[in-house]
Structure 1
Amino acid sequence: MVGLVTGIGLVGWGGIASIGGLVAGALALQQRMRDGRAKDGQQDGVVRNDAGIPPGGPAADISPYEAYKLGVERKVAEFSTARQSTVIKIVHHDPDEYVDHDTAVEVIDTLRKAGPDAKIDVVLHTPGGISSATQQILHALLNHKGPKTAYVPYRAKSAGTMIALACDEIVMGPSAVLGPIDPQYSWLPAHYLAELPSDKSADRISDEMLVLSKMAKQAMKEARRFACEYVNDAHKQDGTCSLTDDLIGGGRNHDYPILPDEAKGFGLKVRTNMPDACYGICQPPPKDEPFLIVSMFNAEDGEKIDPAKAPQLPRDRNGFRLGRDVFR
């Protein structure tokens, strides 16, 4: 919801009192919005929000983000119970989130605690990640003897595709995408960087770029080796490395979307009957949705108000402003 206050000409104590009233109103309406989030219907006659918390209950004052986290945890637990499996959640929404070494530690520890024969369900929603961390995850999955299924409701690109390929089967949403697994080196496609000396004479290439080209060539070699080594045999129709070699050097852009039908055409063991729970697990967190308060301060002689010196609205315990000042 967006509240818009314009042209009120706040001056002196009257202005301060008006701002206080706006903040109090924002707080009250924010609380009503929290209490009104009822997505899962009624349980025992009590309306609950997506986290399973009834309005006015012990945790009714938690932030929308905390409620979101509780809701995801509940969906993971329900999916695990329904499948009688151990669920590994690799879900990234923020641009700064990706498969990193913390992800590798979490996956390795989850597999270790689950036991060698446990059924594993990997729920993936990620743009990719670090090669070395991905290799650790692939090694752990390869050495796990129990059945492994990857669920991709929306996307599992790059390193996410490799993690999916390490499982016995892949369940994709009808519009979900996998992607090429060609390495990127120094934020550049390693495949093209490795070919640089063939495209330009040595006297036209800097020493730095020549070194990067050699390192990219090595990265391509390593990627081909470990991708072929860790892809599950269920996806190797001809028993060779042709699948991974094509996904690495097949001439596609790194962000190329591989939809389910094309994935099946590659010989991947893919089905598209995605459980609703996996969509819920991969839903993005709530955005900061404060009230938009446009404060129009009257200034003498047309003087503009410096936003840095204007009254600042308070923040909640998650650091989100309870209102947003917009000065025009």
Structure 2
Amino acid sequence: MGFGDLFWIIFIAIAMQPFLRQKFLEIARQKAIEAIERKRGSRVILLVHRQETMSLLGFPIMRYIDIDDSEEVIRAIRLTDKDVPIDIILHTPGGLVLAALQIALAIKKHPAKVTAFVPHYAMSGGTLIALACDEIVMGEHAVLGPVDPQIREYPAASILRAVKRKPPEHIDDSTLILADIAEMALKQMKENLKIILDERYPPEKIEEIAEILSQGYFTHDYPITYEEAKKLGLPVSNEMPVEIYQLMKLFPQPVRGTPTVEYIPLPKKGTKS
């Protein structure tokens, strides 16, 4: 074997490393999912969004809930018998209202128990999906978020408040149109929440939760902790199985250059004097 042959073997091995690493991760994830399903007797569905790096160009792409996600989740629900519980693991900043609402309505119609696991965060559309579940299991530091609609880059509630502070003759037509859309969006979101929450709470509680979460009382990225969710009356638990955290380790964030967080990944115990 000459130097040229050795060079090409090394080159191909290096080039194949990302592909092989991804395949090993996929196999490990499937085994972890199967282990959780056997233990809990459930169907496990993951909705995990990470920041991804585009090949060659190297710039980050933010992932979010889209129509492809809703189609896949609904397909998984259809493949699940009516008497089989569903565990959906949510790790997402949110996304399209239509896609999140489709998933939420499909979950609500599943006869067996549906549990949402939120190990870290499920904001906006992720919270909408969690609200459709019978139980929400949150990690110790996990958060949910408001589900108030956003029009372009602005909260719908803020658009309406801004319009009310000016005389109509001082407001341009495009802003008035945005305000009209915002008013419809707020009404629609509240009604959708009522449908999702129906049969799980008393009518007055449904009205309270729908009002607080959808009508712009907080900024859209406001973190709703386990304690706040419990005070609000949501069916939350903080008993997160360790297997869920182990599964999340198999969804590493793509590293670009030097990592921003670094530590020795071993338990650290104090020394007795």
| TM-score strictly above 0.5 | yes
Cα separation, partners in 2 of 1:202 and 1:286, compared to 1, 3 Å: closer
Give the aligned partner of residue 100 of structure 2: 134
- 1:85-109 deviation digits (Å, cap 9, x = unpaired): 0111111112531111111111211
Contact 2:190 2:215 (8 Å CA) reproduced:
no
- Note the aligned Cα RMSD (angstroms): 2.8
Task: Map 1:273-292 to 2 at 5 A.
Answer: 273-283=239-249, 284-285=251-252, 287-288=254-255
Question: How far is 1:237 from its partner?
Answer: 8.3
Higher relative contact order by CA 8 Å / sep ≥ 6: 1 or 2?
1
Give the aligned partner of residue 74 of structure 1: 31
Give the aligned partner of residue 131 of structure 2: 165
Give the aligned partner of residue 234 of structure 2: 268
* 198-207 vs 223-232, greater mean Cα deviation: 198-207
Contact 2:157 2:216 (8 Å CA) reproduced:
no
Give the aligned partner of residue 64 of structure 2: 98
Structure-2 separation of matches of 1:287 and 1:93: 8
Q: Name the aligned partner's letter for residue 81 of structure 1.
A: R
Give the aligned partner of residue 114 of structure 1: 80
Structure-1 separation of matches of 2:69 and 2:202: 27
Give the aligned partner of residue 87 of structure 1: 44
Cα separation, partners in 2 of 1:263 and 1:286, compared to 1, 3 Å: closer
Structure 1 SS opposite 2:189? helix
Question: How far is 1:166 from its partner?
Answer: 0.5
Is 2:209 aligned against 1:243?
yes
Give the aligned partner of residue 180 of structure 1: 146
* Bigger Cα Rg: 1
Structure-2 separation of matches of 1:147 and 1:256: 28
* 272-281 vs 83-92, greater mean Cα deviation: 272-281
- 1:102-150 deviation digits (Å, cap 9, x = unpaired): 1111121111110222211111001111111122112211211111111
Give structure 1 stretches of 5+ with no counterpart. Answer: 1-19, 35-60, 292-328
Cα separation, partners in 2 of 1:290 and 1:203, compared to 1, 3 Å: closer
Contact 2:127 2:144 (8 Å CA) reproduced:
yes
Contact 2:97 2:125 (8 Å CA) reproduced:
yes
Structure-2 separation of matches of 1:233 and 1:267: 14
Is 2:21 aligned against 1:64?
yes
Structure-2 separation of matches of 1:204 and 1:74: 62
Contact 2:43 2:84 (8 Å CA) reproduced:
yes
Structure-2 separation of matches of 1:166 and 1:154: 18
Contact 1:156 1:179 (8 Å CA) reproduced:
yes
Q: Name the aligned partner's letter for residue 132 of structure 2.
A: A
Match for 1:216 among 164, 182, 198?
A: 182
Task: Name whichever structure is richer in helix by fraction.
Answer: 2
Structure-2 separation of matches of 1:286 and 1:208: 40
Cα separation, partners in 2 of 1:229 and 1:100, compared to 1, 3 Å: same
Question: How far is 1:233 from its partner?
Answer: 4.0
Contact 1:108 1:137 (8 Å CA) reproduced:
yes
Structure-2 separation of matches of 1:237 and 1:273: 28
Structure-2 separation of matches of 1:202 and 1:160: 37
Contact 2:155 2:216 (8 Å CA) reproduced:
no
Count of residue correspondences: 243
Contact 2:197 2:206 (8 Å CA) reproduced:
no
Contact 1:65 1:286 (8 Å CA) reproduced:
no
Task: Map 1:145-160 to 2 at 5 A.
Answer: 145-160=111-126
TM-score normalised to the size of structure 2?
Answer: 0.80
Structure-2 separation of matches of 1:106 and 1:209: 37
Structure-2 separation of matches of 1:102 and 1:287: 22
Contact 1:236 1:243 (8 Å CA) reproduced:
no
